[in-house]
Structure 1
Amino acid sequence: MNNSIGVKTYLINLDTSAERYQSAQFQLETANIAFERISAFDGRKADPRTFPQYDEKKALSWFGRKLSGSELGCYFSHIDCVKRFLATGATYGLSLEDDLFLRPDAHATLSNLLNYLDAGHEPGWHMVNLGRPVKRFGSEVIRFSTEANTRILCRAHYFPDTTTAILWSREGAQSFLETVNHIYMPIDHFLRRWNCETDAGYGFIEPPITTTGAESDIERAKAGQDTSRASFYHLRKHRRLWMNKRAAVRNKQNYAKLAGNYEYA
C-alpha cells in the first residue's frame, strides 16, 4: 500500500516494549500496511531542562505544569517521524504509536481517505487524526462506506488530543517542524492548540484506529518525574481550554460560511 499511494508509515516503539511491538506488527501486517519501526526516544530518565527546545517557564504559565522527560521523549519521537517522512519523496506520512488497535476497515478507510486527498479535495490540510473521535466542533466533509462500516470525515475545528495515529501532509509536516524548537506542552495538547489556530486538521466521528487500552508507558514513567503544577493551575487550564474552544467555534462558523465553495465527490 505504501508504494502505490505514496504514503510512508512509521511505528513508534520503545526498545523495551517488545510485546507492544509484536501486537502492532501483527495487526499492521495482517492489514497489509507496510511500515518502518522507529526506536522511540526514551526520556523516562531524562531531565527536561537539559533540552534547549523545552521552555519550562512557558509550560508553567501556559500549560500549568512542568513536562516530564517521558512527554518530551514522545514529542521527539513524533518529530523524528516527521523528519523521516519529509526526507522521502512520499506524499503522505503516517505516524503510529505501538498501542494502536486497528478496526477491521482500517486499511479500506485509509485507502479511501488517501485517494480522496490525492484528488485535491481538501487543499491546505495539515493532518488527520485517525486514532481519536471528533466529539465536538466538527464539520462533516464526506462519508466513506466500506463493507464493515461508514466513516465520517470531518474538519476538526477542535482537534482530538491523542497521537495514536496521525496522517501528515508534506505542508503540514513542514509547518509543524517550524514550531518544534519551542516546546511547552505535551505534543497532543500542542497539536490541538495549533490546529485551533490554523484550522487545518481533520478527523473521524468514529475513527478507524483506536488503542488497545494498555497502560501508557509515558503515564507510568511520569509518576516518578517532576511534573509539579504552577500556582492557580486550574485557572491556567481553564483559560487554555476556553481559548481553544473559542477558536474552534469561530473556525466552525467561518467554515460554514465558505462551505458552499467546496465541491466533494
Structure 2
Amino acid sequence: MLINGKIKSFVINLEASTERFEYAKEQLDRAGIPFERVPAFDGRTTASTSFPEYDEAKALSWFGRKLSGAELGCYFSHIDCVRRFLESDAVYGLSLEDDLELMPDAAQSLSSLLDYLEAGRAPGWHMVNLGRPVKRFGSEVARFSTGQQTRVLCRAHYFPDTTTAILWSREGAKQFLETADHIYMPIDHFLRRWNCHADAGYGFIDPPITTSGAESDILRATTGQDTSRARFYHLRKHRRLQLNKRNAKRNRKAFQERMPAGFQQRVPGE
C-alpha cells in the first residue's frame, strides 16, 4: 500500500522549535511520508487549573500528583491532531512529535502495517505505538520483513508509554475524543491505562520510529509549574501500576486463548 493513499500524518511542533521541525521534515520527506505541521499547544507558562478539562482532584487521587501546564499542552496538541484527522477523509491518522528519529525501513514498515490492517487482521484496534517497544505482556501477531530486518508486531496488552508516533484508527480516535474533556494524567499514561482496559492497542518489539533523544520543548521544565505529589504518592503509583498489569495479564490470557497455537507467543525477555 502507498503510505499517502489513506493516511493523514501530523507533526507536532512549537513555533520557536525551527531546527527540530526541519530535522523531522528532512527525515519524513526522505522517507516519502507527506505530513501536516500542527502548531504545538504551549502550556509551559499557564497554570494547570486554568484549563476546564483538567481534573486536579482526580490527578492527585489516581495519578498521585498534579499535572503541569506543559503536560497539558502536550495532551492538547495530540487532541488537535486527532481532531484534524477525523475532520479529514483519511482512514488512518498518524500523530508524530518533532523529536522523532526514523529507522531506515520506517516507510516500508508502515506500509506493511497498513497492508496488515487493511486485510482486517486486527479487528477492533484503536491505535499502534510506532515509537516505543512492547517490552512486556504482549502477544506476537505478525512479522514484517523489510530487507534491513524483521519487525515483530504485537498486540500490546500493556501499551507502551511515550507518544512519539501513534497511528490511529477512526474508531479509536473517536473514542479518544470522547474522553478529551476529562484529563487527569499525562497522555501517554492515559493511553496505557485505556488500552490496558480496552485491549485495543498494538506495537512493535523493535519499533520503526524512535526519538532523537532531545529534550521535549513542550515538556521542558518551567518556573512556577506545580507538579507537587499527593500524600502516599508511592502507594497510589503502585496501585495504578498493579491495576494496569492485572488487566494486561487478563487480556493477554483471553487473547491468546482465542488465537491459533502458532500465535500464542509472548514478548521475548518477559
List aligned pairs for 1:132-211, cutoff 5 A: 132-211=132-211
Distance apart, 1:147 and its partner CA = 1.0
Aligned-partner Cα distance in 2 for 1:262–1:223: 53
Partner of 2:213: 213
Partner of 2:63: 63
Distance apart, 1:48 and its partner CA = 1.1
- TM (norm. structure 2) is 0.94
Letter in 2 for 1:69: G
List alignment gaps of at least 5 residues for structure 2. 264-270
**Closer/same/farther in 2, CA of residues 56 and 197 from structure 1, 3 Å limit:** same
**Closer/same/farther in 2, CA of residues 11 and 262 from structure 1, 3 Å limit:** farther
Task: State whether residues 44 and 219 of structure 2, in contact with CA within 8 Å, keep that contact through their aligned partners in structure 1.
Answer: no
- Asked if residue 260 in structure 1 is aligned to residue 233 in structure 2, the reply is no
- Asked if residue 98 in structure 1 is aligned to residue 98 in structure 2, the reply is yes
Partner of 2:73: 73
List aligned pairs for 1:233-244, cutoff 5 A: 233-244=233-244
Letter in 2 for 1:180: A
Task: State whether residues 143 and 150 of structure 1, in contact with CA within 8 Å, keep that contact through their aligned partners in structure 2.
Answer: yes
Three-state SS of the structure 2 residue aligned to 1:251 is helix
Task: State whether residues 3 and 107 of structure 2, in contact with CA within 8 Å, keep that contact through their aligned partners in structure 1.
Answer: no
- Asked if residue 33 in structure 1 is aligned to residue 64 in structure 2, the reply is no
Three-state SS of the structure 2 residue aligned to 1:220 is coil
Partner of 1:128: 128
Aligned-partner Cα distance in 1 for 2:32–2:9: 12
Task: State whether residues 64 and 229 of structure 1, in contact with CA within 8 Å, keep that contact through their aligned partners in structure 2.
Answer: yes
Letter in 2 for 1:156: A
- 1:179-219 deviations in whole A, cap 9, x for unaligned? 11110000000000000010000000000000000112244
Partner of 1:112: 112
**Closer/same/farther in 2, CA of residues 62 and 186 from structure 1, 3 Å limit:** same
- TM (norm. structure 1) is 0.96
Partner of 1:228: 228
Aligned-partner Cα distance in 2 for 1:16–1:132: 26
List alignment gaps of at least 5 residues for structure 1. none
- 1:102-150 deviations in whole A, cap 9, x for unaligned? 0000000000000110111111000000000000000000000011110
Distance apart, 1:2 and its partner CA = 4.7
Aligned-partner Cα distance in 1 for 2:146–2:49: 48
Three-state SS of the structure 2 residue aligned to 1:217 is coil
Distance apart, 1:220 and its partner CA = 2.2
Distance apart, 1:224 and its partner CA = 4.2
Aligned-partner Cα distance in 2 for 1:137–1:241: 13
Aligned-partner Cα distance in 1 for 2:147–2:258: 33
Task: State whether residues 2 and 9 of structure 1, in contact with CA within 8 Å, keep that contact through their aligned partners in structure 2.
Answer: no
**Closer/same/farther in 2, CA of residues 261 and 147 from structure 1, 3 Å limit:** closer
Aligned-partner Cα distance in 2 for 1:237–1:222: 24
Aligned-partner Cα distance in 1 for 2:37–2:216: 18
Aligned-partner Cα distance in 2 for 1:232–1:211: 33
Task: State whether residues 94 and 168 of structure 1, in contact with CA within 8 Å, keep that contact through their aligned partners in structure 2.
Answer: yes
- Asked if residue 87 in structure 1 is aligned to residue 87 in structure 2, the reply is yes
Task: State whether residues 70 and 220 of structure 2, in contact with CA within 8 Å, keep that contact through their aligned partners in structure 1.
Answer: no
Aligned-partner Cα distance in 1 for 2:149–2:190: 31
Task: State whether residues 3 and 111 of structure 2, in contact with CA within 8 Å, keep that contact through their aligned partners in structure 1.
Answer: no
Distance apart, 1:262 and its partner CA = 10
**Closer/same/farther in 2, CA of residues 222 and 245 from structure 1, 3 Å limit:** farther
- 1:77-96 deviations in whole A, cap 9, x for unaligned? 00000000001111000000
Aligned-partner Cα distance in 2 for 1:179–1:14: 24
Letter in 1 for 2:159: F
Distance apart, 1:29 and its partner CA = 0.4
- 1:48-89 deviations in whole A, cap 9, x for unaligned? 111111000000000000000010000000000000000111
Distance apart, 1:223 and its partner CA = 6.0
